Amino acid sequence: INGKPLVYLDNGATAQKPRAVIDTLSRFFEQENANIHRGVHYLSMNATDAYDRARERIAAAIGAPQVKEVIFTRGTTEAINLVAHGLAETHFSKGDEIVLTLMEHHANFVPWQILEEKIGVVLKFAPVLENGELDLEAWKGLFSGKTKLATFTHVSNALGTVNPVQEMTKFAKETSEALVLVDGAQAVPHGDVDIAGIGCDFYMFSGHKVYGPDGIGILWGKEEILEGFPPYQSGGDMIERVSVSGTTFRGIPERFEAGTPNISGAIGLAAAFDYIENELGGWESAEAHEQDVVAFATERLLEIPGLQIRGTAPGKIGVISFTMDSAHPHDIGTILDSEGVAIRAGHHCAQPLMEHFGITGTARASFAFYNTKADADALVTAIEKVHRFFG
């Protein structure tokens, strides 16, 4: 990039893909491509088996109690919207309350604001402490007899803060009749997630952040809740029977997978989980390496005058979000790009959080298992150039 070796530190936006995932996709398109659940010929049956096995593989990887509770979506955003649509039809009435946090991604803000306008639900937001931790006591104080949903991110995409989701879920269940939705988009790429252990009602994530293809994601939800939802979209494969007198619908997961699904995406996402387990040896060693690199980068960055790291919670994943006294985040990102270092600059689809901190945005370096201390050195060297130029 600009004559420099690429240092890719925008993994929070999307991760690069292992050769094993790319080869799986190539093999499918070259040798195995067919539609599923419709044909009796070999290719169709083979593709159907691969798609169904992918669901089983992903369910096992995330600790889903039942395979059929795993719904394939386009990503986290569609998954949250699907749940919001279902709850709007079956769960919410005017005056019901939803408890959120100020660190949510827009995807976990806007659908509920739309329901606020349409139904009259009441949104209540928990603040964030100066170090980027959720103000847990303030969050607990928002619950009341009217609370019908608690929804929160597992890991902040803008700060890297890891929320105590098991504790939060337990509190919500013990003190109210609220359902619990957890946005796991930034959590699944950084360690084992045990949905059954969390105890929530809904959990979702995106494949492209966990080293899989884009356009594929997962919604996990409890069977008894999902079976009560009306269809989110209608069309082929989600119907039981169609006649001129009416239509009946299939149960989960097919009810929420209308039309030809992202077959290759599902198979590629399963391959990403296979890669993590078989070639990386699981999440533990990969995450330990990542944390070592992030700690090294953090120590060096703090030596740069005028640089402030936003989000210093004791528990966080490989995200370093920062501002500089002398330079706007977009200027930082542009100069770093000229040095071959790819980061993200802006509000990170978390504008309420930025407003809470009184800033317009940050520069964000987000790490993955394939990043090294040499990458961290390149980041620091490039930021030192920013400091010299603007300081």
Give me the active site residues, please.
349
Distance CA 48, CA 263 (A): 9
Q: Which amino acid, one-letter code, is at 56?
A: E
Kindly report the three-state secondary structure assignment for every residue of 313-369: CCCECCEEEEEECCECHHHHHHHHHHCCEECEEECCCCHHHHHHHCCCCEEEEECCC
3-state secondary structure of 265: helix
Distance CA 125, CA 108 (A): 12
Query: 43, 236 in Cβ contact below 8 A?
Result: no
Distance CA 17, CA 23 (A): 10
Distance CA 270, CA 60 (A): 10
Q: For residue 190, give Cα distances in angstroms to 164, 314, 336.
A: 15, 16, 25
Tokens representing 293 are: 């690199």
Query: 269, 212 in Cβ contact below 8 A?
Result: yes
Whose tokens are 């929804």? That residue is: 151
Q: Which amino acid, one-letter code, is at 139?
A: W
Of 109, 127, 183, 177, which is closest to residue 355 (Cα–Cα)?
Answer: 127
